[in-house]
């Protein structure tokens, strides 16, 4: 050990055993050595041949200091010597020299300092003097881990010492950094990126620390290299694979996450940046927040999350609107991930507020369309439709933010509303509409329980909403969203009754039903009906006030000209009558007042219908059309008005109310006489009859014969469906009480239906089903339901009455054919159930033939064709759930026939049916035994096995029909 090495050891001694004087002399000695012209050669010599790490470090540090201080004065030979020597050490060019290996396998601080020395040379020499420094590095990487590690350290040191803007840089350093980056981009960056990929791919399972080092180097360079070198179909999948595939260290996975963050944070124009963000599908790793809990990886993912949100929000603010839907979905992924955090960080809360800010700005209408939207002309309708579609994703995002941070969201909406309210101008239509729309959309994310309980903030919002009269309330879009929002929060009002008076005022004054814009007033009528349904009982103290306020509504309704296009459609204002009916129909309302108010609202409607029916047959076609439209509206209003009245109230407790509706029914049945062929009127009258069946109960019976006769007289197949549904309602409500009516009407019904439905089924398949065929299919399905309802409600005797028996054969043949062949399994099941019920009704006594020929028909035709042949057909699919249910009904039918007909059924079924199917004797005997037992499940199992065995034996050669 020479004197220099001893002095270096003294300088670095931290034991405290050496006095300060000696240390000072040693330091002075070393400084003297540094001044010698040969110091660079000396440093290289000590670096290569000394085994002392203190000496190696001092040599490297001194070499770096000397290069920085004296580079410009060095000779070309000295520069070459330093360059070649340092590069040889870095790349293990003296591979036989074990000391060089020891340097690269030594402590990290030695390797880092060696990298800094090489970077100092790069500072002065690249690319003008030493242009090949990086290219020369690549062949040496094949020497293994130690050289690859040094390659990464050199790149890291280049970033630390020169390129990174995280440290203060002089103007000269910035100039050199720009020169180095430009040269690297042109010459070797693509090769460096490929090297990173090769390192990670090759060593991911054998040396994860080395891969982590490579990725950490790459992360530093992403900000200034061509992003396409990283963000592509090769490198991005590798990064996601490292992050998502288990078994790798948190350090390596974290390094991959940090690389993604660098990609996300890349400075770019908004549109390509957004495309990049969307292409990453970065939400794939967000689930790791929940899965990895508090692991080290979570902090890296959280940083990625924050950076990602920053970038997407930045795009959100600056991008053109055509791409905003995609941005909203990117932000939605971010917000959804925040649910995984127990507590939101301050940065996350800031992002959520920024998201809300952006949403509010984006959902505002363009003031240029204000008048178009108010009158809702063609341009206004197009803009409204566009905005509805455009807002969908934004409102999904809003509701997601509301779930993650409810208080932040509600406070934001409150402030938005305060800002809108504070304006004294009526020129802030768009701002008010947007703030109200946010409040409405928020309500969609609140559960009923959350709505009922409400928060303090929600209470403040509702108080502000209901107490405010916006200067721009006359504008259609503001008025509509205001009413929709009040309705949305009606469950909150239900639990907080103090708000009810304000709600009623909002709906009943010029903000609602009395709004000057007819489109608003009609929508208000519909929404008010929904409010009444929710608040119903709590509105009893206010009924008279409400009814008095609505008095002019009836006058307007009965005087409107309904021939104009503007007033057509489902929301025609008639829903206000349903609201009135719901209020009037409450038993808490005094009887006298109830009658008076019902007369007040009902009589003008009836009187107008009567007036319009007078001399109707003398009208021109145009006049008839106009009158029909008005009558139709009045019938609808009367129907809705009646919905609030229960059968018990109008027939038992307050029959005077029932009498009013009977008189109304008398009036409306005249419509069928005067306009027998107007389908729209017939449909409306039928609907009212349905209502009166429920409301008047048995007291409706005197009106039914005339009503049914008129409805049946001119009915087309499409109308016959409605007629059969009315008969079904009568049977379901009154059961055997309608037997006489059914016996009277059934022949006409059967005659009409069988005249239009083909006996052998309706055509099916591509192109065969026309609108006419669809109507007949619907009629056929309704007919099966009608026959099923008759038989299952103790009315099968109707088929046997003298007037109806003529159609017995047609009914039986239809049921038989459909039970075997209908494409709809549920129809086949219904037909089998009808046969089961008819057997029970008509074959109660084994020795009595209640219906001549029925017993033989059931055994010979139904049992053989439906219970055997149709099941043997391979289209009968036992794996289908509905088919299995049908099979159960078929087995039940067999069991019933055996119970009713005994051996007569068994012998004929087995001898005719089983023998035709070539059923083996042992299977037939097993079936016989189970049929004679009482275990229906066992019978079903045995019969299924029998069928499957027969199918195998026949092997498709016999078609059973």
Residues 773 and 882 grouped into a single domain: no
The pLDDT value recorded for residue 554 is: 76
**Burial category of 55 from C-beta neighbours within 10 Å (exposed 0-12, middle 13-18, buried 19 and up):** buried
DSSP for residue 956: T
Res 960 pLDDT > 80:
no
25: which residues sit within 8 A by CB, 6+ positions away?
Answer: none
Calculate the CA dihedral of residues 798, 803, 808, 811 and round it to 10 degrees. Answer: -70
> Cα dist. 674→144, 613, 650, 713 in Å?
101, 7, 29, 13
Which stretches within 755-872 are classed as H helix?
A: 771-791, 808-821, 825-842, 854-857, 870-872
**Burial category of 592 from C-beta neighbours within 10 Å (exposed 0-12, middle 13-18, buried 19 and up):** exposed
Q: Return the higher-pLDDT residue of 529 and 615.
A: 529
Q: Return the higher-pLDDT residue of 403 and 319.
A: 403
Res 456 pLDDT > 50:
yes
Residue 135 lies in a domain: yes
Structural domain tally of the chain? 3
| Closest to 550 (Cα-Cα) out of 523, 528, 533 | 528
Tell me how far apart the alpha carbons of residues 489 and 468 are, in angstroms, rounded to a whole number. Answer: 16
Residue 92 lies in a domain: yes
Contact 897, 858 (CB under 8 A): yes
Q: Return the higher-pLDDT residue of 755 and 581.
A: 581
Tell me how far apart the alpha carbons of residues 852 and 847 are, in angstroms, rounded to a whole number. Answer: 12
The pLDDT value recorded for residue 294 is: 46
Long-range contacts of 803-809 (CB under 8 A, 24+ apart): 803/743, 803/744, 803/746, 803/747, 804/743, 804/746, 804/747, 804/750, 806/747, 807/746, 807/747, 807/750, 807/751, 807/754, 808/851
The DSSP code sequence of 543-610 is: HHHHHHHTHHHHHHHHH--TTSGGG-SS-SSTHHHHHHHHHHT-TTS-HHHHHHHHHHHHHHHHHHHH
Q: Give the pLDDT band of residue 324 (cuts 50, 70, 90).
A: low
Residue 574 lies in a domain: no
The pLDDT value recorded for residue 953 is: 78
The token pair at 738 is 């309608």
Q: Return the higher-pLDDT residue of 307 and 894.
A: 894
The pLDDT value recorded for residue 761 is: 67
Map tokens 């021109």 to a residue.
620
b/e map 530-556, b = 16+ CB within 10 Å: ebbeebbeebeebbeebbebbeebbee
Residues 767 and 881 grouped into a single domain: no
> Cα dist. 931→246, 483, 677, 891, 939 in Å?
61, 67, 56, 9, 6
Residues 201 and 52 grouped into a single domain: yes
Mean of the per-residue pLDDT values of the chain: 89
Q: Give the pLDDT band of residue 567 (cuts 50, 70, 90).
A: very low
Res 564 pLDDT > 60:
no
The pLDDT value recorded for residue 766 is: 66
**126-183 tens-digit pLDDT:** 999 999 999 999 999 999 999 999 999 999 999 999 999 888 999 999 999 999 999 9
The pLDDT value recorded for residue 956 is: 45
Residues 129 and 210 grouped into a single domain: yes
The pLDDT value recorded for residue 354 is: 82
Lowest mean pLDDT among 150-164, 353-367, 625-639: 353-367
Residue 177 lies in a domain: yes
The pLDDT value recorded for residue 566 is: 46
Residue 428 lies in a domain: no
Q: Give the pLDDT band of residue 571 (cuts 50, 70, 90).
A: low
| Closest to 395 (Cα-Cα) out of 328, 322, 449, 454 | 328
Tell me how far apart the alpha carbons of residues 794 and 739 are, in angstroms, rounded to a whole number. Answer: 9
Res 330 pLDDT > 80:
no
Residues 942 and 898 grouped into a single domain: yes
Q: Give the pLDDT band of residue 469 (cuts 50, 70, 90).
A: confident
Q: Give the pLDDT band of residue 397 (cuts 50, 70, 90).
A: confident
| Closest to 285 (Cα-Cα) out of 251, 257, 255 | 257
Residues 733 and 836 grouped into a single domain: no
Residue 928 lies in a domain: yes
Lowest mean pLDDT among 470-479, 611-620, 646-655, 891-900: 611-620
Residues 776 and 912 grouped into a single domain: no
Can you tell me the mean pLDDT for 197-210? 95
Q: Return the higher-pLDDT residue of 528 and 316.
A: 528
First to last CA, the chain: 112
Calculate the CA dihedral of residues 862, 863, 866, 870 and round it to 10 degrees. Answer: -140
Q: Return the higher-pLDDT residue of 569 and 508.
A: 508
Can you tell me the mean pLDDT for 711-730? 88
The pLDDT value recorded for residue 458 is: 84
Q: Give the pLDDT band of residue 485 (cuts 50, 70, 90).
A: very high
Residue 70 lies in a domain: yes
Which stretches within 14-131 are classed as H helix?
A: 20-34, 39-49, 53-70, 76-91, 98-104, 108-125
The token pair at 674 is 């005067």
**60-93 tens-digit pLDDT:** 999 999 999 999 999 999 999 999 999 999 998 8
Q: Give the pLDDT band of residue 278 (cuts 50, 70, 90).
A: confident
Residues 778 and 819 grouped into a single domain: no
Contact 695, 645 (CB under 8 A): yes
Contact 821, 761 (CB under 8 A): yes
Res 293 pLDDT > 80:
no
**403-449 tens-digit pLDDT:** 888 889 989 999 998 888 887 666 789 999 999 999 999 888 788 88
Q: Which among 777, 797, 817 is the end of a domain?
A: 797
Tell me how far apart the alpha carbons of residues 375 and 382 are, in angstroms, rounded to a whole number. Answer: 12
Domain housing 843: 802-960
Number of Cβ within a 10 Å radius of residue 241: 14
**768-818 tens-digit pLDDT:** 678 888 888 899 999 999 999 999 999 999 999 999 999 999 999 999 999
Res 959 pLDDT > 50:
no
Tell me how far apart the alpha carbons of residues 861 and 847 are, in angstroms, rounded to a whole number. Answer: 20
| Closest to 409 (Cα-Cα) out of 420, 397, 419, 421 | 397
Res 341 pLDDT > 80:
no
Residue 340 lies in a domain: no
Residues 43 and 184 grouped into a single domain: yes
Continuous segment of H or E residues that includes residue 274? helix 270-280
**728-741 tens-digit pLDDT:** 999 999 999 999 99
Res 908 pLDDT > 80:
yes
Residues 846 and 724 grouped into a single domain: no
Res 562 pLDDT > 60:
no
Residues 67 and 201 grouped into a single domain: yes
DSSP for residue 282: G
Q: Which among 750, 774, 797 is the end of a domain?
A: 797
What φ, ψ does residue 129 adopt, rounded to 5°? -95, -40
The pLDDT value recorded for residue 289 is: 63
Residues 85 and 147 grouped into a single domain: yes
b/e map 350-374, b = 16+ CB within 10 Å: bbbbbbbebbbebbbbeeebbebbb
Q: Which among 764, 797, 830 is the end of a domain?
A: 797
Contact 263, 230 (CB under 8 A): yes
Tell me how far apart the alpha carbons of residues 593 and 86 are, in angstroms, rounded to a whole number. Answer: 107
The pLDDT value recorded for residue 351 is: 82
Res 20 pLDDT > 90:
no
């Amino acid at each position: 050990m020479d004197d220099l090495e001893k002095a270096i050891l003294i300088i670095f001694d931290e034991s405290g055993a050496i006095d300060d004087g000696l240390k000072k002399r040693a330091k002075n000695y070393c400084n003297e050595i540094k001044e010698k012209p040969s110091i660079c050669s000396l440093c290289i010599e000590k670096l290569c041949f000394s085994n002392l790490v203190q000496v190696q470090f001092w040599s490297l540090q001194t070499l770096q200091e000397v290069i920085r201080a004296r580079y410009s004065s060095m000779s070309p030979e000295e520069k070459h010597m330093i360059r070649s020597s340092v590069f040889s050490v870095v790349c293990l060019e003296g591979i036989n020299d074990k000391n060089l290996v020891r340097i690269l396998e030594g402590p990290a601080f030695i390797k880092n300092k060696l990298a800094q020395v090489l970077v100092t040379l790069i500072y002065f020499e690249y690319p003008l003097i030493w242009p090949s420094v990086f290219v020369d590095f690549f062949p040496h990487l094949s020497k293994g881990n130690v050289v690859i590690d040094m390659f990464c350290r050199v790149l890291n040191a280049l970033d630390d010492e020169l390129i990174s803007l995280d440290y203060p840089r002089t103007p000269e350093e910035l100039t050199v950094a720009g020169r180095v980056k430009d040269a690297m981009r042109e010459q070797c960056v693509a090769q460096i990126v490929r090297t990173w990929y090769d390192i990670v791919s090759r060593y991911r399972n054998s040396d994860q620390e080395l891969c982590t080092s490579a990725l950490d180097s790459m992360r530093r360079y992403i900000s200034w290299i061509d992003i396409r070198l990283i963000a592509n179909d090769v490198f991005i999948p590798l990064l996601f694979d490292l992050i998502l595939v288990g078994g790798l260290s948190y350090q390596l996975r974290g390094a991959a996450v940090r690389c993604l963050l660098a990609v996300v944070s890349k400075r770019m124009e908004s549109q390509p940046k957004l495309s990049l963000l969307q292409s990453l599908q970065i939400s794939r790793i967000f689930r790791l927040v929940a899965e990895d809990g508090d692991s080290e990886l979570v902090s890296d993912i959280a940083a990625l999350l924050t950076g990602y949100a920053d970038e997407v929000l930045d795009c959100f603010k600056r991008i053109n609107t055509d791409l905003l839907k995609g941005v909203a979905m990117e932000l939605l992924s971010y917000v959804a991930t925040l649910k995984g955090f127990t507590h939101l960080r301050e940065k996350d809360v800031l992002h959520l507020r920024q998201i809300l800010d952006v949403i509010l700005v984006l959902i505002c209408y363009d003031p240029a369309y204000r008048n178009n939207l108010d009158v809702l002309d063609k341009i206004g309708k197009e803009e409204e439709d566009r905005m509805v579609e455009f807002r969908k994703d934004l409102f999904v995002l809003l509701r997601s933010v509301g779930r993650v941070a409810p208080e932040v969201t509600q406070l934001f909406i409150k402030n938005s509303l305060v800002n809108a309210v504070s304006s004294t101008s009526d020129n802030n239509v768009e701002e008010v509409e947007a703030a109200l729309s946010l409040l409405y959309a928020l309500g969609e994310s609140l559960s009923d329980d959350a709505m009922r309980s409400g928060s303090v903030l929600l209470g403040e919002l509702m108080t502000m909403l209901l107490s405010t009269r916006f200067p721009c309330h006359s504008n259609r879009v503001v008025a509509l969203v205001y009413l929709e929002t009040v309705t949305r929060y009606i469950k909150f009002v239900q639990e907080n009754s103090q708000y009810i008076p304000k709600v009623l005022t909002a709906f009943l004054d010029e903000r609602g039903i009395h709004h000057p814009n007819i489109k608003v007033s009609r929508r208000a009528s519909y929404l008010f009906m929904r409010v009444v349904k929710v608040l119903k009982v709590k509105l009893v103290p206010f009924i008279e006030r409400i009814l008095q306020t609505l008095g002019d509504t009836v006058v307007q309704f009965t005087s409107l000209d309904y021939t104009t296009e503007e007033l057509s459609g489902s929301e025609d204002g008639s829903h206000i009558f349903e609201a009135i009916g719901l209020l009037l129909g409450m038993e808490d309302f005094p009887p006298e007042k109830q009658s008076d108010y019902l007369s007040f609202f009902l009589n003008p409607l009836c009187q107008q219908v009567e007036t319009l029916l007078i001399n109707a047959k003398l009208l021109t076609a145009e006049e008839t059309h106009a009158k029909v439209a008005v009558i139709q509206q009045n019938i609808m209003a009367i129907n809705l008005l009646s919905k609030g009245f229960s059968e018990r109230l109008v027939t038992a407790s307050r029959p005077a109310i029932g009498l009013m509706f009977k008189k109304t029914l008398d009036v409306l049945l005249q419509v069928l006489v005067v306009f027998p062929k107007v389908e729209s009127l017939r449909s409306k009258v039928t609907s009212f009859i349905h209502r009166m069946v429920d409301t008047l109960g048995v007291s409706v019976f005197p009106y039914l014969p005339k009503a049914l006769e008129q409805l049946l007289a001119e009915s087309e197949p499409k109308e016959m469906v409605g007629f059969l549904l009315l008969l079904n309602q009568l049977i379901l409500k009154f059961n055997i009480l309608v037997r006489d009516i059914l016996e009277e009407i059934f022949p006409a019904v059967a005659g009409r239906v069988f005249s239009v439905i083909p006996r052998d089924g309706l055509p099916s398949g591509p192109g065969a089903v026309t609108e006419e065929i669809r109507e007949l299919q619907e009629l056929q399905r309704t007919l099966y339901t009608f026959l099923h309802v008759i038989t299952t409600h103790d009315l099968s005797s109707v088929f046997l009455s003298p007037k109806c028996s003529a159609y017995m054969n047609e009914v039986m043949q239809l049921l038989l054919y459909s039970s075997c062949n209908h494409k709809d399994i549920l129809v086949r099941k219904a037909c089998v159930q009808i046969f089961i019920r008819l057997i029970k009704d008509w074959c109660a006594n084994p020795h009595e033939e209640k219906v001549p020929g029925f017993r033989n028909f059931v055994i010979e035709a139904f049992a053989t064709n439906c219970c055997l042949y149709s099941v043997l057909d391979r289209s009968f699919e036992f794996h289908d759930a509905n088919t299995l249910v049908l099979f159960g009904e078929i087995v039940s039918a067999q069991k019933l026939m055996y119970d009713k007909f005994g051996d007569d059924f068994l012998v004929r079924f087995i001898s005719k049916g089983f023998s035709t199917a070539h059923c083996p004797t042992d299977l037939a005997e097993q079936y016989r035994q189970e049929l004679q037992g009482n275990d229906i499940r066992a019978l079903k199992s045995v019969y299924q096995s029998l069928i499957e065995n027969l199918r195998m034996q026949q092997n498709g050669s016999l078609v059973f029909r």
